Structure 1
């Protein structure tokens, strides 16, 4: 029987080269859990792992079992703990080297990513695409038939923006880059279900961000131009579970910063 999302702890083949193991860490921010992607070229026994997931020994063991311990390289989409907590246990189990944008997550003799570089490992060619906005260190990985988007584009809902200055401008640019790089390719996100075509999801994300900007502009018109982020959240996100308001505040702050520069 063909597995469908979600399938905890079971290797689910999605494309010819990409299979996924879903970590059992569901939550409001992680959706059903973190997707650990296992990439394997035709005829190869070794593989590339993307995002080892949270600090969960059973998940790390499942990755090691699914790969037979033959992990040529592990790649990290960004620094959040639900993606990186399992790094060291996976290194212990498989001896994999680890690459990331943030040098604090490098293991072995690996170097930090460079935008646009092509990684050749386990018979695969993987292009690194810097896609900041969710975090400063967010990257995506472009394969021949798919794009692994980390938390930059999710399989359901929308992502939270970093609150740093320039986060929304960075994010809109990242979405444009993914739209271009993902033409005719599948979307393989770090949370939520995969999609056979990245383009409509990316276009929805772009439209959603501009819609939210319009709502924030209207909120400022009512509340005053000096309204703080949480005041805007209470108005714009009134229909959203209040437990998500702290995360929404980060996105609203990014939008306020954007509007102060771009209008």
Structure 2
């Protein structure tokens, strides 16, 4: 089986480390890059300020790390928009997206809205698929996208763009975390986002995707299928441990991301086990059923 080709290879995207600190991909949305670059967060966490121009109201999506410089950059955007924050939204509970949610919400005097009560906190709002977040002049629609994590959400704007958190990244592919992640749920969520026919994807990390968005989503699904094939193929000669599988399947990937690759591998093995293709062997090993 041949590896699927990432359509973004032919796009004119910013190189790693060159993503602008602040950008406005459309009048409704401003992106502010948090200063937390790493192999997992790419250039850093993308925080989004969303609201109708001139309306005086915005929401902050994924405030990211509770960093004073990042808060100052977001505050500059609020001043430029002459807008007040009416809610802090969070796509999922991982700290690089949610750490600042409650502190910033308290500072702005608003509530946190998220997919779990642990993130929303006392007085916060737990969001479900199909809910709306109203703003002056516009609204966001909540799209449940579990898979990367159980509580993962996306937010669709009235212009058709989707803020996808870590469900889709601007570069590379997303991790399906283990044990909370679920590959079957992740694939279903990919299909759900694809059916929306998004005009653009605003990712939790990396550049925004505004060209052939459908092709990216199809590549993501094909990539997951390819990883399944690689694991089964690697197990055909005999049992292997998860560490051996990661070293084999991700040999060309920097070792810094192998811990994340191990999570995706374990999540994929759980899916293959559920469909009867592989079984657990002795210790941390797996074999073909």
TM-score w.r.t. the length of structure 2 is: 0.83
In the aligned structure 2, how far is the partner of 1:120 from the partner of 1:103?
20
Give the structure 2 partner of residue 213 of structure 1.
228
In the aligned structure 2, how far is the partner of 1:90 from the partner of 1:66?
15
Following superposition, the deviation at residue 243 of structure 1 comes to 2.1
Give the structure 2 partner of residue 100 of structure 1.
114
Give the structure 1 partner of residue 57 of structure 2.
46
Aligned 1:1-263 pairs, distance under 5 A? 6-8=19-21, 10=22, 12-68=23-79, 70-106=84-120, 109-144=123-158, 145-164=160-179, 167-181=182-196, 183-197=197-211, 198-224=213-239, 227-262=240-275, 263=277
Cα RMSD, aligned residues only: 1.8
8 Å CA contact retained: 2:148, 2:181 = no
In the aligned structure 2, how far is the partner of 1:16 from the partner of 1:102?
30
Give the structure 1 partner of residue 5 of structure 2.
none
Q: Which runs of 5+ in 2 are unaligned?
A: 1-13, 278-289
Deviations 1:194-213 (A, max 9, x none): 01142121111011111111
SS in 1 for 2:31: strand
Following superposition, the deviation at residue 107 of structure 1 comes to 5.1
In the aligned structure 2, how far is the partner of 1:45 from the partner of 1:108?
26
In the aligned structure 2, how far is the partner of 1:79 from the partner of 1:165?
11
Q: Which runs of 5+ in 1 are unaligned?
A: none
Moved more, 168-177 or 115-124: 115-124
Judged with a 3 Å threshold, the aligned counterparts in structure 2 of structure 1 residues 168 and 184 are, in CA distance, closer, same or farther, namely closer
8 Å CA contact retained: 2:28, 2:53 = yes
Judged with a 3 Å threshold, the aligned counterparts in structure 2 of structure 1 residues 194 and 240 are, in CA distance, closer, same or farther, namely same
Judged with a 3 Å threshold, the aligned counterparts in structure 2 of structure 1 residues 240 and 223 are, in CA distance, closer, same or farther, namely farther
8 Å CA contact retained: 1:128, 1:142 = yes
Judged with a 3 Å threshold, the aligned counterparts in structure 2 of structure 1 residues 202 and 97 are, in CA distance, closer, same or farther, namely same
How many aligned residue pairs are there?
A: 255
